[in-house]
Amino acid sequence: MYSRFVALRIRPAGREIRKNTVGPGLPVRRLLAEWPATEPEPVQFWLSDLPADTALATLVRTAKLRWRIEHDYREMKQALGLAHFEGRTWRGWHHHVTLVSVAHAFCTLQRITRSPKETAPA
């Protein structure tokens, strides 16, 4: 990763928040900002409610985990058929989702156990 990250302690504020909040306001949060070396200013921001003593590396890893989750969900829908269920029963839906989840687990295990330099068998 070629970005710099900074985590700042902030207290979210604003007229809408004050109107909808009872008491002194929202608790202190941490704002994580990503600033790529090639950009003139930060490009992505995350608001975290993790404990204050959470390491910066953990904050970054947790924020970037969203990409992996979205990628896996897209793979389950498109490549493994999660979106193709056309049944009408809970049991049928549960069966379908279970099989898609097992297929996804298998694909994930294959991906993490294979060396990046290995190629797929022909």
Residue 24: its pLDDT value, please?
A: 67
In the prediction, which pLDDT does 40 show? 92
Q: What averages of pLDDT result for each successive group of 10 residues across the chain (122 residues)?
A: 87 72 76 93 92 93 91 92 90 94 94 74 60
**Overall pTM surpassing 0.85 (yes/no):** no
Domain boundaries, the chain: 1-65, 79-122
Neighbours of 108 (CB within 10 A): 12
Identify the pLDDT of residue 87: 86
Provide the pLDDT for residue 12. Answer: 78
